[in-house]
């Protein structure tokens, strides 16, 4: 069977990594069974227990804002134990409701909650309200030594900055230099602090250290901040050169191109500081910590990102990060809302809009995806990714001619770095095949095979296509075997292998493979049809008819079926097929190596 790869736009932010430990419990994604439902809870909704159960159900369903509301209601109705209050302030924080979170964090603190995370919530709220003395006292109450020696100096430095204590801010930040994994953070925040205090010379030294030391990580956000400083301090050309260096290495990262163009179009006299307040500096610290957690604890990453956005709602990279976290948790509508907050003036705007279209594609809301992509195409008429995605949507909705047109347009605008992107040729081959142009499909698939280093999807698709067209049987078999050898757990490739064995007359071997494919793809109409054919040839006629009948009602790959032929098979059965020509000795040898026969 042909396996289709849904190729979506992947936006990868270059982020810093480090080692950081947390005592925060994972309250956000609860997976314990709950023997109740909201329908059962609603009669009890005005009781502490009923609202607690409603909160738990909403929590399980990932409706976190509703869960937080119910936890709060249960607290107000008397269920004010430490665990419930803890869940309330953690969820409120993750959902960006920081002022409410701080209120319940303080209540939890009074009840003896010793979670270190509680101090970050309260500190952030106090920082927003410019209650710097209280914020400093709160963050200094964190007792864990790892916190004290690693990240607390970041937060303390910006609190001191809020109090106008330049010397103390820079001195406390020096503690970060003890940990080599935090060197990038030290120099970035040293630069930002010095820039905030108008110490341009010291800021320049710190930023130049980050730029010139290849051992230090430079994130996209760092590029934004450093280039902003360079522009304001008479080094616009240096800012452009810095960003262009990274753009030259990644032609597909349009956010780098847009940042580069924004720099070229900037007026130094009208360019404002990106980090112009202690609150925004603290937001950078919080976002940095959220980024560190991103790879291995998304819940904590979301919490710190929410805190960062509370202090700086215009932080475009944090908005993208939050949207991506929500998308990864399948909270698609909320992810779209976050992406939509990014200003058209931001160099990340294009990526955010394209991510919205990608979510529509993921949800199979193809009409919305088309509308969004066509809207974007008017703004960016020669953009490779938009054209490619338009090809994808049109192919999926059964408009292969339109898909072919967009794929060719994409190929005419392909950036140098994407010239070896085999996926567009693979998709083009699929579209040609769907449009009944097999010769052109072959050409595109062979090109994809060449530049993909014989990717199993391409091997499988081309090999299966040749079998269906009774062409190049030995080469087709070899390609399907090779695809299986590379990816033996792919259900579509299993189906192709089973069907290849069927076409060779190896019905018993075919059944073994097709039954396994059916376990991997239980809702696939093609697999059921193939398995029915194989059953029929060995005399298992009732099972064959069951599979064919099942194939008629399944939706996955149903467009590939001829239902009239299947109905005819159910009614009259299936004659023995013509066996394709193949090299028997070579087949036996390969079957042994694949270990698919007894």
Instruction: Let me know if residue 227 belongs to a domain.
Output: yes
Whether 210 shows a pLDDT value over 70: the answer reads: yes
What's the confidence (pLDDT) of residue 417? 58
245-290 per-position pLDDT tens digit: 887 666 457 888 889 899 999 999 999 999 999 999 999 999 999 9
Task: Mark which of 287, 317, 340 sits at the end of a domain.
Answer: 287
> For residue 380, which phi and psi values (nearest 5 degrees)?
-130, 75
Give which of 47, 68, 48, 50 is closest to 59, Cα–Cα. 68
Instruction: Let me know if residue 439 belongs to a domain.
Output: no
Task: Mark which of 237, 252, 287 sits at the end of a domain.
Answer: 287
Whether 362 shows a pLDDT value over 60: the answer reads: yes
The proportion of the chain whose per-residue pLDDT surpasses 70, expressed as a percent, equals 89
Task: Mark which of 248, 266, 287 sits at the end of a domain.
Answer: 287
Q: What is the mean pLDDT of residues 163-188?
A: 92
Question: Rounded CA gap, 341 and 524, in Å?
Answer: 39
Check: CB of residue 175 under 8 Å from CB of residue 153. Answer: yes
Instruction: Let me know if residue 459 belongs to a domain.
Output: yes
Question: Rounded CA gap, 148 and 483, in Å?
Answer: 53
Length of the chain: 598
Cβ-proximal residues to 488 (8 Å cutoff; 6+ apart), any chain: 494
Instruction: Let me know if residue 192 belongs to a domain.
Output: yes
Instruction: Let me know if residue 4 belongs to a domain.
Output: no
Q: Would you report the helix, strand and coil content of the chain in percent, each value rounded to 5?
A: 70, 0, 30
> What's the pLDDT band for 5 if we cut at 50, 70, 90?
very low
What's the confidence (pLDDT) of residue 22? 29
Domain housing 184: 38-287
Q: How many domains does the chain have?
A: 2
Q: What is the mean pLDDT of residues 6-18?
A: 28
What's the confidence (pLDDT) of residue 157? 96
Instruction: Let me know if residue 398 belongs to a domain.
Output: no
Cβ-proximal residues to 196 (8 Å cutoff; 6+ apart), any chain: 161, 273, 275, 276, 277, 278, 281
Whether 87 shows a pLDDT value over 90: the answer reads: no
Whether 165 shows a pLDDT value over 90: the answer reads: yes
Instruction: Let me know if residue 417 belongs to a domain.
Output: no
Question: Rounded CA gap, 405 and 417, in Å?
Answer: 22
Whether 590 shows a pLDDT value over 90: the answer reads: no
Mean pLDDT in the chain?
Answer: 86
Check: CB of residue 424 under 8 Å from CB of residue 384. Answer: no
Check which CATH number belongs to the domain holding 572 and give it: 1.25.40.10
Whether 7 shows a pLDDT value over 80: the answer reads: no
Instruction: Let me know if residue 365 belongs to a domain.
Output: no
């Amino acid at each position: 069977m042909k396996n289709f790869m849904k190729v979506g736009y992947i936006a990868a932010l270059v982020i810093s990594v480090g080692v950081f430990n947390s005592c925060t419990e994972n309250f956000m994604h609860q997976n314990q069974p709950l023997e109740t439902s909201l329908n059962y809870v609603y009669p009890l909704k005005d009781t502490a227990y009923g609202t607690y159960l409603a909160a738990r159900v909403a929590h399980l369903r990932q409706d976190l804002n509703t869960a937080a509301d119910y936890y709060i209601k249960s607290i107000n109705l008397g269920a004010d134990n430490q665990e419930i209050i803890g869940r309330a302030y953690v969820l409120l924080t993750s959902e960006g409701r920081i002022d409410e979170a701080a209120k319940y964090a303080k209540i939890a603190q009074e009840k003896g909650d010793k979670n270190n995370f509680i101090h970050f919530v309260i500190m952030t709220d106090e920082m927003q309200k410019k209650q710097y003395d209280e914020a400093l006292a709160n963050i200094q109450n964190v007792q864990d030594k790892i916190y004290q020696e690693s990240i607390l100096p970041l937060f303390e430095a910006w609190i001191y900055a809020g109090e106008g204590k330049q010397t103390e801010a820079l001195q406390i930040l020096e503690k970060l230099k003890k940990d080599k994994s935090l060197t990038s953070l030290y120099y970035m925040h040293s630069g930002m602090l010095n820039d905030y205090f108008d110490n341009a010379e010291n800021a320049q030294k710190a930023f130049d250290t980050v730029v010139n030391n290849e051992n230090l990580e430079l994130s996209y956000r760092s590029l934004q901040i450093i280039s902003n400083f360079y522009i304001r301090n008479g080094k616009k050309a240096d800012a452009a050169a810095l960003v262009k260096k990274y753009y030259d290495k990644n032609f597909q990262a349009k956010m780098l191109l847009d940042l580069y163009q924004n720099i070229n179009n900037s007026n130094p006299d009208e360019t404002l500081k990106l980090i112009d307040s202690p609150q925004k500096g603290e937001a950078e610290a919080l976002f940095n910590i959220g980024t560190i957690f991103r790879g291995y604890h998304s819940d904590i990453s979301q919490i710190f990102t929410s805190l960062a956005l509370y202090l700086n709602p215009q932080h475009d990279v944090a908005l993208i990060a939050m949207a991506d976290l929500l998308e990864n948790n399948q909270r698609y509508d909320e992810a779209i809302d976050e992406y939509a907050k990014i200003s058209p003036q931001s160099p990340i705007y294009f990526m955010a809009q394209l991510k919205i279209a990608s979510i529509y594609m993921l949800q199979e809301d193809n009409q919305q995806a088309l509308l969004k992509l066509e809207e974007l195409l008017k703004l960016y008429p020669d953009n490779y990714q938009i054209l490619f995605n338009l090809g994808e949507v049109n192919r999926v909705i059964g408009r292969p001619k339109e898909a072919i047109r967009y794929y060719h347009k994409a190929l005419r605008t392909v950036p140098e770095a994407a010239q070896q992107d085999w996926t567009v040729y693979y998709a083009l081959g699929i579209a040609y095949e769907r449009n009944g142009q097999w010769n052109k499909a072959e050409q595109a698939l062979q090109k994809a095979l060449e530049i993909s280093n014989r990717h199993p999807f391409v091997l499988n698709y081309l090999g299966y296509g040749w079998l269906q067209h009774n062409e190049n049987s030995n080469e087709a078999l070899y390609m399907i075997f090779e695809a299986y050898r590379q990816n033996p757990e792919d259900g579509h490739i299993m189906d192709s292998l089973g069907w290849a064995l069927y076409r060779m007359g190896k019905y018993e071997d075919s059944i073994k493979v097709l039954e396994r494919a059916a376990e991997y793809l239980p809702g696939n109409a093609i697999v059921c049809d193939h398995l029915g054919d194989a059953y029929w040839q060995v005399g298992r006629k009732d099972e064959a008819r069951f599979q064919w009948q099942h194939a008629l009602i399944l939706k996955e790959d149903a467009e590939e079926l001829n239902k009239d032929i299947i109905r005819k098979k159910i009614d009259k059965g299936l004659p023995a097929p013509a066996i394709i020509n193949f090299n028997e000795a070579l087949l036996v040898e390969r079957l042994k190596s694949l270990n698919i026969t007894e």
